Amino acid sequence: MALLGFLLLGAAAWDLTEHSAWFAYAPIGDDPLVQTRYAYAPYQPEPVWEWGTPWQVVVALAFLGALGWFAARDRLPPLRIALVLGAGTAVILLSTAVTALAKATDAQFPTTALGAPLAVLGAVAGVWAGFRLGPGRRVATAACLVCLTLAAYLFGASAEAVDPVTAALGLGVLAWYTRSKVPAVAAAAVLVTAIAFSSGTLGLLVPGALVLAAALAVLRPA
C-alpha cells in the first residue's frame, strides 16, 4: 500500500509540472501600445501519458513491486509467482482495453444497463454463499466475485474510473492475502475519492494520500 501511495503522489506531482499556460505578444504597426497581437495556449492536461494513463502506470508498478516483495518475504514458489504475474497482467490489460473502449464509444448507457443486473446477481450470490442458504456455496462465491468485479468495471467505465477499480481490486486481493481490513478500507477510499475527483490532479493526490495514510497506520506499532 505504501508503494501505491507514493506512486500516486509522485504521479500527481508529475502531472502538476507537465502542463502550464503561456502567452506570447508581438506588436503590430508603429505603435505597439495600440495594436498588439498575442497568442495564448490554455492549460489543457493530457488524459494519456506516453506509456498510458497515470493510473495504469502506477498500478502496474505497484503490482510488480508488491509481487516482488511478497515473493521474497514469503518465498513463494516460481509457479505461484508466474500464475499471479499472469493474472495481474491480464487484469491490467483488461482495464486498459475497457478504458480505451469507453473513451472510443462513450457507452455510458450500455455499461450502466449491464452493470446493474450484474451487481444484483453478484449480491444475490454473495447472500446465498454468506448465509449458506443452500448447496453450491463455492459456486455462489465464485459467481459473486466475478459478477461484482465485472459490474465494478462497467460502472467504472461509465464514471471514467476504470483504472481506480483495478487499484481497488488489487487492494482487495491484498486484504484477503494478509487477512487485514485496512487494505479493504483503503480500496473503498480509492474508489470513492477517484470517482469524486475523476478529473485533474486531485484524482491522483487524494487517493494517494489516503492509501499512504492507511499504510502508515498499518506500520505504526501498537
Per-residue pLDDT of the chain (222 residues; tens, 9 = 90+): 788 888 888 888 877 765 544 444 445 555 555 444 444 444 444 444 444 678 888 999 999 999 999 999 999 899 999 999 998 898 888 888 777 776 666 656 566 677 788 889 999 998 888 887 778 888 999 999 888 888 887 777 766 678 888 888 889 888 888 888 888 888 888 888 887 887 678 888 888 888 988 888 777 654
CA-based Rg of the chain, rounded to a whole angstrom?
22
Q: Are the C-beta atoms of residues 201 and 5 closer than 8 Å to each other?
A: no
2, 21, 29, 35, 44 from 38: Cα distances, Å = 46, 13, 14, 10, 18
The interaxial angle of helices 162-178 and 78-105, nearest 10 deg, is 160
Whole-model pTM over 0.85: no
At 78 the pLDDT is 92
In whole numbers, what is the pLDDT of the chain averaged over residues?
A: 78
The x, y and z cell numbers of residue 98, run together, are 475497457
**What pLDDT does residue 108 have?**
60
The pLDDT of residue 47 is 44
Q: Which residues of 93-111 are buried (b: 16+ CB within 10 A; e: fewer)?
A: eebbebbeebeeeebeeeb
The set of residues, in sequence order, having a beta carbon less than 8 Å from that of 218 and lying 6+ positions away, is: 1, 180, 182
State pLDDT tens for residues 22-53.
444 445 555 555 444 444 444 444 444 444 67
pLDDT at 112: 67
Q: What is the pLDDT of residue 149?
A: 84
